[in-house]
Amino acid sequence: MKLIVAVIQDKDSNRLSDALVEKDFQATKLASTGGFLKAGNTTFMIGVQNEEVERVLEIIKENCQAREQLVAPISPMGGNADSYVPYPVEVQVGGATVFILPVDQFEKF
Ligand code: 2BA
């Protein structure tokens, strides 16, 4: 068994959960925040059998799209000086950042 952990954009989260439910995959959605943009994103935890991993990756690819996002300047007064960006820059935020982890044991009580 594997645990698929996928960080995706909030805009795609409803579409992805609908697609997973439709294909009979169970998932948990967590509200998360990107370390760089400090903007909300969504993290899915999806537990699947090994042979289902590729199918789930396809569903993620079909339902999550990369987008350009503008990073506004952040005042060093407002927070950490390490994250100071002096002018707006455009970054491409990926459709999904996916980790696939082995599951030693899975129980439901
Ligand atoms: P954020 O950390 O908010 O990053 C958003 C986008 O900003 C990233 O898109 C990347 O294009 C850019 N970016 C991130 N760090 C950067 C830096 N130091 N310099 C310049 N540009 C930078 P993605 O790579 O598609 O990542 C989307 C989100 O996925 C991330 O949001 C983060 O929440 C998560 N993520 C990405 N890589 C990860 C990793 N190795 N471990 C854990 N989470 C990760």
pLDDT digits (tens, 9 = 90+) for 67-88: 998 887 666 565 666 666 678 8
**Per-residue pLDDT tens for 3-29?**
999 999 999 999 999 999 999 999 999
Q: Please indicate, yes or no, if residue 108 is contained in any of the structural domains.
A: no
Task: Using the mean position of ligand 1's atoms as its centre, give its distance from the Cα of residue 38 in Å.
Answer: 10
Residues in contact with ligand 1 by the CB-under-6-Å rule are 7, 34-37, 41, 91-94, 97
Of ligand 1's listed atoms, the one at least distance from the Cα of 94 is 25
The answer to whether 43 and 29 are in contact (CB under 8 A) is: yes
Of ligand 1's listed atoms, the one at least distance from the Cα of 71 is 7
pTM for this prediction: 0.89
The answer to whether 13 and 60 are in contact (CB under 8 A) is: no
Letter string b/e over residues 66-75, b meaning 16 or more CB atoms within 10 A of that residue's CB: eeeeebeeee
Tokens of 82: 């390490």
| Residue-number span of the structural domain to which 65 is assigned | 2-74+85-102
Instruction: Name the residue with the closest Cα to ligand 1, atom 18.
Output: 36
- Total domains in the chain come to 1
Task: Using the mean position of ligand 1's atoms as its centre, give its distance from the Cα of residue 107 in Å.
Answer: 32
Q: Please indicate, yes or no, if residue 57 is contained in any of the structural domains.
A: yes
Q: Please indicate, yes or no, if residue 66 is contained in any of the structural domains.
A: yes
- Residue 60's domain is classified under what CATH number? 3.30.70.120
